[in-house]
Structure 1
């Protein structure tokens, strides 16, 4: 039990102190590259001997970033820029920003003017990612990123190194998918602890995180469960706030599965190791689906969430809607309709990086629990 608690504490410490992790890597002489959501090609960065580190913003008061953004824009983007202006990313070699939504496009352009000492590298993905032309476009974008990274860091790229990184990331994906299945059987793990395990992955080298997750699952297998909670699915871009997640535990709700961009969406698709490494990475993106920021005219994500709820025998779906996130807002209509047709209760809770008071969310979740 001591090892089990120690592992939980380690995940919590890493998830809560990314600056400490950054400083540790820099002290080791490693070069770090910030990776902005939602899908930055971390494998490329890792293969060049660089440390990819997630940049999803933080729950902070926004001041300087308001000079560059209007008030009605995603607070994740605003807080990333705010942290950059404050110098919280000091020491990193570059920041890679994918252009998967209008807010992300604005972030990259604003970064060039607001944080001049950290090079901005754009990652341009095609909307039509599945045809051969889309894969070729993605591959060409990766090749341009490689050149930009080489110029910014002095490191070099090789296909052999990428092949090794692709394998490392595939193993991490498999571990994280297995983790979800294991956590489903352990309602004693709190929502905050579950978040810590997922979040810590953004601030560690993936092979190190995979080893830690495997140790944790082995330790968890020795824990006997006595608790029983109401099973729910979460969906959205981000489920990060301690204040919000603690409400789940206060009302006896267990997150048994998720469709959260910051969590399980990252691990659903594996690279095909039989292809040439760069082709395999482009092919991987072409096969990614069920996400609000990926082109999906049929809106298959709605059906995916229903199937996920059925798979995990969830009593309801909690939509954590990031304020001013247009792609998520557009999808919500279809998700709500699909859940209604399937007879699955659904609730929407608006979240924001600047929120400090979750009393209203608590009231809504309490009412939702009573309904379930």
Structure 2
């Protein structure tokens, strides 16, 4: 397929998760909803089940308000809202990790609000990068396996998990590569870049890897492009809102790299392909870092963001702050301080899943762009 055909395919998949879900169910496949941030998809995939990303949607929250206060992460609110409205009808189970207070609340509320879809908890340790932490993580994975076997009738196999680890490592590699390749093709918009990342949650990873590698190959046939666009690094939990991305594009802003939980944070670390596969997954989680929901007393994420700016010659950083996300709010202060010390311009935009009017964000981004143009 040509580049535009591939981009259109990514867009169609990214914007029609319900259609993708219905397609899997029509094929007789059992689907397991995976709530962010680091749900062990490899385990689900290895059991012949379909991992299906569940990051909520830009919807008005009504029913979920009976379970959540207004001042809590809108991603969690919208996930519950969709569940209560029947959007996940046909899903065999939902796996919810426990990496922040909002996720813990979602798991408990789901049990009562959406009784027809069983809740499977995945409990992670805060101190993950030591032998006790790795053992704790492994036991958590074993709990997930046991619950999924009881709920779905599927069986776990260490051999099949080893195969799935390789599938996911290949996908990680492809996603890291496409992020770098896109830097040389600024005509591909922020919206199209988002589609590439978002579509991964609604496909089997081997199928998504094939599409991404095909796009990389097609772009490789084209000459590299020059641009006058402003280059930025984005940071946050989620940057997939159509209206916001259109503002990026309207203001000639190119995302050259990201520190976004929904995007590149997923693909930084591979699991070892040798030895016990379950222990390898626990080791993978132990090696993760530079993320607001992962405990880090040294807050190395601040240096990581600064290094991204330098590596990709970005002009600034745009923090897309999910409203009421405490982990991100705590990290923001430290990251901004690190950026200020390096004379890197920053902009913070607060968003949630219920936002309709992005006029204020438009003004802020336009002003940010003009300030960067003067600085450059």
TM-score normalized by the length of structure 2: 0.98
Match of 2:309?
309
Superposed, which structure 2 residues align to 1:1-372 within 5 Å? 3-224=2-223, 225-372=225-372
Q: Determine if contact 1:318/1:346 at 8 Å carries over to the other structure.
A: yes
In the alignment, the residues of structure 2 paired with residue 6 and residue 248 of structure 1 have an alpha-carbon distance, to the nearest angstrom, of 23
Q: Deviations over 1:240-276 (max 9, x none)?
A: 1010011111111100000000000000000011231
Q: Determine if contact 2:315/2:345 at 8 Å carries over to the other structure.
A: yes
Q: Determine if contact 2:98/2:124 at 8 Å carries over to the other structure.
A: yes
> What root-mean-square deviation, in Å, do the aligned CA atoms of Structure 1 and Structure 2 show?
0.8
Which 5+ residue runs of structure 2 have no aligned equivalent?
none
SS of residue matched to 1:257: strand
In the alignment, the residues of structure 2 paired with residue 275 and residue 131 of structure 1 have an alpha-carbon distance, to the nearest angstrom, of 18
Q: Determine if contact 1:187/1:228 at 8 Å carries over to the other structure.
A: no
In the alignment, the residues of structure 2 paired with residue 23 and residue 247 of structure 1 have an alpha-carbon distance, to the nearest angstrom, of 32
Q: Deviations over 1:216-257 (max 9, x none)?
A: 111122334254311100000000101001111111110000
Q: Deviations over 1:270-316 (max 9, x none)?
A: 00112310000000000000000000111110010000110000000
In the alignment, the residues of structure 1 paired with residue 306 and residue 183 of structure 2 have an alpha-carbon distance, to the nearest angstrom, of 17
Structure 1 residues 354-363 or 221-230, which shifts more? Answer: 221-230
In the alignment, the residues of structure 2 paired with residue 227 and residue 103 of structure 1 have an alpha-carbon distance, to the nearest angstrom, of 41
Q: Deviations over 1:141-200 (max 9, x none)?
A: 000100000011000000000000000000000000000110011110100000000000
SS of residue matched to 2:44: helix
SS of residue matched to 1:259: strand
Q: Deviations over 1:38-82 (max 9, x none)?
A: 100000000000000000000000000000000000000000000
Runs of 4+ in 1 over 4 A off after TM superposition: none
Aligned residues: 371
SS of residue matched to 1:184: helix
